């Protein structure tokens, strides 16, 4: 269903997201995505607030570290507290206290990775949720409706994300279904609050990825994501998928690599023309004492940091964060998360500036944490 | 040993804390305490950062909620990471990232409540610490030296805090020892970085309290604390101790009620002329979902808050905090702590303004959470 062939296209495209590319450096781009709740400078990293808040981080701290857009998860919110509750409270922004842009993941990935007894058919997916085991069902239409009712700035279409490894036949079915669901999502879309992004599946099969890109591009959605990565595949496979898929996506639309990754993974994808990212690594690794800095990763619990006065991005010294981890204080995880989020968001800003000044290759070469060949964390 | 009789008094008093009382309302006062790291408006509440940080709260969040002075604990810092480490890193302010005033508790209370095998003699106290059981010893002189070496703005003298209930004879010995230790603390004091506060012990025995006040006042210390409260005694006993002791303390010096308490406890003590407070309740109760508001306490986990859009002081709605507690998110405790600290610090500011305008009695009568007869949390 190409947009040009659809007589409803002009009325359907009510919520558009103006996306301006300000500069290019090779395939990499830097630009601005205008959402109903504010402008997102790209390339951008979206901290993950699965249940509405990044673990250990208040809305004001999330602003302070430089967040422009937060990711929340429709599956988790549908399980608890429920879409009706969020809607009745005025939507996701009023509910969570985060007044900036919000993207909601559709729940496709979570249904297949977290929920029990997931049974997918051409109409949708039935499962028992991971909290109380209650039966639930999501369809492309209900997912769009949920995201619109809670006022997400960007909603993702429901997709089928096969586990890894998956055989070609299994992946081909998932691609066909995900594309069909994207068409139904677009038809169900009221266009009143939420912009819709499509999701490219296809596993590690380049031709399936490219077929998905072709079919989804014809739907003229507000943006496109590369899904089904970071599901266990080797790094080399993941990078090849990005190299094949990203440049093929519509040039004028924002491109989003879902669930990726380390600074080096992100740098690689930015070079391939990706604009948006989300990942739990800054918060999850932070809680385990793994910090990112320009020179690489460090394990702050190591004894070598006991006397190290070097300041971190969370307002305390390495020695103090080491002390708090050694004491088992919850503050340790909070501060490490704030440091890592600050690092990621500064890193994205620096990538954008390097693109704008046409110096991306040199900048990356001089930034150890962005290199693929760096050693293990110190 | 009265200050006037001591030929060393003029040279010993190098670090003084100018304390200006700006207004009085009955016995209550509001004023300014000038420390090397900034001015503290009184009455003031000191959030408790036992190990150097309030649980779950970054230094910048601590500032954002309105903290002017933080309390840290010498006993805990001496156990981990050790005084040598903190000193080598440039002192407590550089170590923790908190650049405002810091008061350190001496460790007397912790030695008797937390440590094992505490054996007190007239010279000091020996014990095994609560973390690794290593033997340690604190004396009045070592405690002063430790506090000066880590650069506390205000240090507390080592005191003996008897458990509750304690017989009169036991308490009398502790009072005598604590007073003798205060004299030795003053003599050991270099006067170069840290102002010293004395601690009034005496349990629930009014005459012992008043004798301690008399003897400690003669030492002309920078301020005076009421210790040995909030150790298990009934509320009525605690309040009588405050009513007897606070008005007897030197009028021109700051008065500090240690480890107290609820907003109603604090209001009661402010009426009796107390200027400084610390307590773990805002953070500890916050982590358990008990919040303070002007109308009283509330248990945010109660089902009644599921749909309640009322904003809290931490930037989110009651409904969202309820949701995060129900999901078991660590963010729940963080946000509840931020709310409670904001409430406490706003409450202190409001008390000061009511004193300044001569309307303290009326203000307290109109503030349900400050009243003694309020019901259980909702």
User: SS3 of B201, please?
Assistant: coil
Q: How far apart are CA A298 and CA A302, in angstroms?
A: 9
B56 burial via Cβ count (<10 Å: 0-12, 13-18, 19+) = buried
Rounded to an integer, what is the distance from CA A317 to the centroid of its chain? 30
The more confidently predicted of residues B310 and A114 is B310
Q: How far apart are CA B248 and CA B244, in angstroms?
A: 7
Q: What is the pLDDT of residues A238-288, one digit of tens each?
A: 999 999 999 999 999 999 999 999 999 999 999 999 999 999 999 999 999
Report the 3 state secondary structure along A219-241.
CCCCEEEECCCCCCCCHHHHHHH
Tokens of B93: 């302010």
pLDDT value at position A2? 41
Which residue ranges in chain A fall short of pLDDT 70? 1-15, 372-378
Q: Could you tell me whether strands A125-128 and A135-138 are parallel, antiparallel, or unpaired per DSSP bridges? A: antiparallel
A202, A177, A178, A254: which is closest to A19 by C-alpha? A254
Q: Does A327 touch chain B (CB under 8 A)?
A: yes
Bridge partner list, A17: none
Q: Does B341 touch chain A (CB under 8 A)?
A: no
pLDDT value at position B237? 95
A223, A221, A226: which is closest to A204 by C-alpha? A226
Q: What is the pLDDT of residues B331-373, one digit of tens each?
A: 999 999 999 999 999 999 999 999 999 999 999 999 999 986 5
Q: What is the pLDDT of residues B28-60, one digit of tens each?
A: 999 999 999 999 999 999 999 999 999 999 999
A333–chain B nearest CA distance, Å: 8
- Residues of chain A in contact with residue B95, where contact means CB-CB under 8 angstroms, are 317, 319-320, 323
Pseudo-torsion of CA B369, B371, B373, B378, nearest 10°?
0
Q: Angle CA(A352)–CA(A353)–CA(A354) in degrees, nearest 5?
A: 90
Q: Which residue is closest to B337 within chain A, CA to CA?
A: A58
What is the residue-averaged pLDDT of chain B?
A: 93
The answer to whether residue B110 scores a pLDDT higher than 80 is yes
Q: What is the pLDDT of residues A326-342, one digit of tens each?
A: 999 999 999 999 999 99
The more confidently predicted of residues B239 and B15 is B239
Q: Could you tell me whether strands A28-35 and A19-25 are parallel, antiparallel, or unpaired per DSSP bridges? A: antiparallel
pLDDT value at position B377? 54
Q: Would you name the residues of B annotated as active-site residues?
A: 105, 278
pLDDT value at position B2? 41
Q: How far apart are CA B274 and CA B43, in angstroms?
A: 7
B92–chain A nearest CA distance, Å: 10
pLDDT value at position B112? 83
Q: Which band of pLDDT confidence, cut at 50, 70 and 90, is reported for residue B15?
A: low
Q: Which band of pLDDT confidence, cut at 50, 70 and 90, is reported for residue B11?
A: very low
Beta-strand (E) ranges in chain A?
19-25, 28-35, 38-42, 44-46, 70-73, 102-105, 116-120, 125-128, 135-138, 154-156, 195-200, 223-226, 255-257, 276-278, 290-293, 296-299
Which ipTM value was assigned to this complex?
A: 0.94
Best probe of the A interface among B97, B132, B287, by most A CBs < 10 A, is B97
Cross-chain residue pair B51–A96, CB shorter than 8 Å: no
Q: Does A91 touch chain B (CB under 8 A)?
A: no
Q: Does B56 touch chain A (CB under 8 A)?
A: yes
Rounded to an integer, what is the distance from CA A352 to the centroid of its chain? 18
Tokens of B224: 């005076």
Cross-chain residue pair A64–B60, CB shorter than 8 Å: yes
pLDDT value at position B8? 45
The answer to whether residue B193 scores a pLDDT higher than 80 is yes
Q: Does B326 touch chain A (CB under 8 A)?
A: yes
Q: Which residue is closest to A327 within chain B, CA to CA?
A: B80
Quick one: CA dihedral A319, A320, A321, A326, positive or negative?
A: positive
B323, B237, B110, B248: which is closest to A76 by C-alpha? B323
pLDDT value at position A205? 97
What residue ranges define each of the domains in chain A, with the CATH number in brackets?
45-279 (3.20.20.105)
- What predicted TM-score, i.e. pTM, was given to this entire model? 0.94
pLDDT value at position B7? 46
- Residues of chain A in contact with residue B53, where contact means CB-CB under 8 angstroms, are 316, 320, 324, 329, 331, 335
């Amino acid at each position: 269903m190409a947009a040009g062939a659809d007589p409803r296209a002009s009325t359907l495209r009510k919520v558009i997201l103006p996306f301006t590319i300000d500069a290019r450096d090779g395939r990499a781009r830097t630009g601005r995505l205008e959402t109903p709740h504010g402008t997102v400078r790209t390339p951008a990293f979206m901290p993950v607030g699965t249940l509405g808040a990044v673990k250990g981080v208040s809305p004001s701290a999330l602003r302070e570290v430089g967040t422009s857009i937060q990711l929340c998860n429709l599956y988790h919110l549908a399980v608890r507290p429920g879409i009706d509750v969020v809607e009745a409270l005025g939507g996701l922004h009023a509910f969570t206290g985060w007044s900036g842009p919000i993207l909601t993941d559709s729940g496709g990935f979570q249904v297949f990775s977290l929920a029990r007894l997931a049974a997918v058919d051409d109409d949708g997916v039935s499962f028992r949720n991971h909290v109380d085991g209650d039966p639930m069902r999501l369809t492309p239409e209900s997912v769009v409706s949920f995201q619109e009712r809670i006022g997400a700035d960007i909603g993702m279409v429901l997709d089928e994300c096969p586990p890894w490894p998956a055989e070609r036949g299994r992946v081909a079915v998932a691609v066909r279904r995900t594309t069909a669901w994207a068409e139904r999502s677009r038809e169900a879309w009221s266009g009143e609050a939420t912009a819709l992004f499509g999701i490219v599946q296809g596993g590690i099969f380049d031709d399936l990825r490219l077929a998905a890109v072709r079919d989804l591009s014809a739907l003229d959605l507000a943006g496109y994501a590369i899904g089904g990565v970071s599901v266990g595949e080797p790094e080399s496979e993941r990078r090849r998928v990005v190299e094949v898929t990203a440049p093929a996506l519509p040039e004028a639309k924002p491109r989003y690599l879902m669930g990726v990754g380390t600074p080096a993974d992100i740098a690689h994808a930015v070079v391939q023309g990706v604009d948006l990212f989300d990942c739990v690594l800054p918060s999850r690794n932070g809680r385990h004492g793994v910090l990112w800095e320009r020179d690489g990763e460090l394990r702050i619990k190591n004894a070598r940091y006991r006397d190290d006065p070097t300041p971190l991005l969370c307002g305390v010294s390495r020695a103090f964060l080491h002390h708090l981890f050694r004491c088992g204080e919850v503050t340790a995880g909070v501060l490490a998360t704030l440091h890592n989020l600050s690092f990621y968001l500064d890193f994205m800003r620096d990538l954008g500036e390097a693109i704008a000044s046409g110096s991306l290759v040199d900048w990356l070469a001089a930034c150890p944490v962005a290199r693929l060949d760096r050693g293990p964390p110190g």
